Every structure is written in C-alpha cells, then in structure tokens.
Amino acid sequence: MSNQDRMRTALVVVLVLAIVLASGGTGFAAGWFLRSHTAPAAAAPDDVQQRFRLFWEAWGVIEREFNHDKPLDLQKVVYGAIGGAIRSLGDPYTAFVEPAQAKIFEEDLEGSFEGIGATVDQVDGLVVIVETIDGAPASKAGLRANDVILEVDGKSLQGMDLSQAISLIRGPGGTQVRLRIHREGTAEPFEVLVTRDKIDLPTVSSRMLDGHIAYVRLTEFNNQATVRLQAALRDLLKDHPRALIFDLRGNPGGYLHIAVQVASQFIRDGVIVSEKDSKGKVTEYKAEGNGLALDVPLVVLVDGGSASASEIVAGAIQDTGRGTLIGRTTFGKGSVQASYTLSDGSAVRVSIARWYTPKGHQIDGKGLTPDIVVPADAEGSAEAAHDAVLERALQFILAQQAAPTPTPQ
C-alpha cells in the first residue's frame, strides 16, 4: 500500500468518525471528561465518500505541486484534518486531542501522576514553572516559580507544544530527568537533576478560620476528590464549626459522578442535576443520601473560573436553598462531553448532552449568578493575602448568626 493510500484510509476513517460522533454520539458523560471509551470503527457511507471526493482533489494538488524540501509529516496532516473537521462544527467543547495531551488529561483526572511535581505554562513560547508542590521533587531540587525550562535531558523545548514538553518532563517514579533552567538574576543557565516520584495533586485544602468557621477548597473533580473532601469534612466538623465555607473558585470541573458525590455531601435528597441528550432523553442524578455536612450553615464561593462540575454543585446548592453563593458569575458551561480514545492514544471529545439545575435552569453561556455578588474590581483571590470574596463570606456568616431569631406570633 502506498503512503497516499495509507493516508487516504486513515483520513477517511477518522474524518467519518468525527462526523458520526458529532452528529449524535451516545454514552455516559461528564461536565469536562467523564471517562475514555474506545472509539468504534466507522464505515464511510456512500454520501460521505462522495462529499470527500473534493478533499482528495485538493490533496492531489498538494502532493503534485507543493514545494517542500523534506518529506511531508503525514501524521501531522492527519491530525490537522481531524482537528479542522471538528472545529468546523462550531462547538468549542467538541475537540480532537493528540496522544500526549490526552494522556496528561487522563492522568490529572485520576488525581495523581508520576513526575516532578510542578505546574508549568507556556509564556511567549517558553515553558515556565508557575508553582511547585510542597514536598515534591521539584521543590526539593530547588526549582522555583518563574524558572524557565530550556531543555529536558538535552532536548530543547523551544517551539515545542506544551503538552509535548510536559510528556518529556513527566516519567516513571524513581527515574531521573535533567532540566536546563534559566532563572532571572542568574547570569548563565544551569542544570538541575530531579528524581521523579508519584505526585498526588493537591485537590483539597482546608483549615479553621477566625470565628470558628470552617473552610475547605476543592480545585478539581478528579477521582480522588470525594475521598479527600470527606476526609477534610470529617476533620473540620468534629470541632462543630458555626458555619462552613466551600470554595469552588477557579475549579474547572471534572467527572459528573464525582460532582454528584460532592453535592451529596451537602444536600440530603432530591435531584442534583439532570441532562438531556440529542434525542430528548432526560436522565436525573439524585443525592446519594450519605452526606457528611447536611446541616451546617453553608456558603459557596464561585467566580468566572468555576466551570462545569463546579457549576453543577453550586447550582444544586443554590436551587435547593441549601446554601448561599457568594462571589462572581460562573463560567457558564452547561454541556456534557464524552471522550473516545482512538487507536493511537489520541482522543475525540464530543458534546452529547446539556445539563440542567434542579429547577431546570440551563446555564450554558450565562453561568450562575451568585446570591451575593462581589464586584470584579475588588482585590484578591483564593491565594491572595487580601481576599475580598472570602471576607464578604465571613461578614455574611457573622451577620446572619448575629441576627435575632424571629419570634412566632
């Protein structure tokens, strides 16, 4: 089989798969990713083959006429074709994910991975450390926020996609990775040898605040979220706090079933969320009835970074009257996705349903409006020393509990 024939076969299968999934895929899904499924083989219907005749006409021109001094990267062409076909659907949440990025997403949603324990981002084409996890190998090796990673084991990261760079930095626990680092204020780049380890993502953090008010923050709805949240709640509630603040700011979401489990820690019974698929079928997910914090006065903190599963939980708490939302309007992601793993480890994520709050609100593109809105120009964040949203929550709790109880007439 020629290279052109191989490419033609691959493109027909993946492009048809993308169209089939986008036009009405089925399956259980989540607000962000729920779980991966193996993608079914797709046969190309006659009308699809006819429509893609134009594609092959165009590709024939490229093969004959394109002036290039090195062989074409057919893998890159195939990925580009899949991505372009899916982008044409106009849904920002239906997407193609290459193998390296798909693996990273999958690991993160498990709540742990093997690597150096540092959060990185790409700034002006450079891979920059945002923060290191306390006690993790990166921190122990002396790496700091704002360090620039230039090379990994002698391989330059210049011009590399962030997910590819992360896949080089991560690796099996116990193995070593040599990083070439540029640090502001240091004349020359230097090398740091880091021994990788298993890293547990800091999914939950908690503490007691002044006034005997409990505080717990959830950063992601991964597979460890429920267990870690329950542990934090048990520890906080044994001291019988006067109220509980549940912080969902900056939480991008995660698994749907984890959202239901988390909401069930605060809501005694009833519907947590319902979803309607492309055929109009409605599925309801109800409180599980085993919550740890069903009676303590509750405030939930949200902002524009609270999305998907965060909005499911916050919307359920708001609609049922279980607690008070304080902060800023949430992101507004009301669709449901399923992720299908392809044969090479890449994945197609496809929107298959929309979800609704217990009172039937659809928040896609609108978000949830908090019961108490803190202006966006107020200073502070969950990590800042001055946190205007948290301060407003504390004021609200103290004011509510200081108010006299009405006397029945």
- By annotation, the residues acting in catalysis are 308, 319, 333
Instruction: Look up residue 327 and give its amino acid.
Output: G
The tokens for 79 are 């990925």
Instruction: Look up residue 408 and give its amino acid.
Output: P
Strand intervals (E) in 266-388 = 271-277, 282-286, 298-302, 324-327, 335-341, 347-356, 372-373
CA distance 24 to 38: 16
CA dihedral 298, 303, 308, 311 (to 10 degrees): 30
Place of tokens 């928040």: 363
The tokens for 163 are 């997910």
HSE-up of residue 29 (Cα within 13 Å, Cβ side): 29
CA distance 270 to 391: 31
Contact residues for 354 (Cβ-Cβ < 8 A; gap 6+): 275, 276, 334, 335, 336, 362, 364
- Tell me the chain's radius of gyration from C-alpha atoms: 24
CA distance 359 to 272: 10
CB neighbourhood size of 385 (10 A): 6
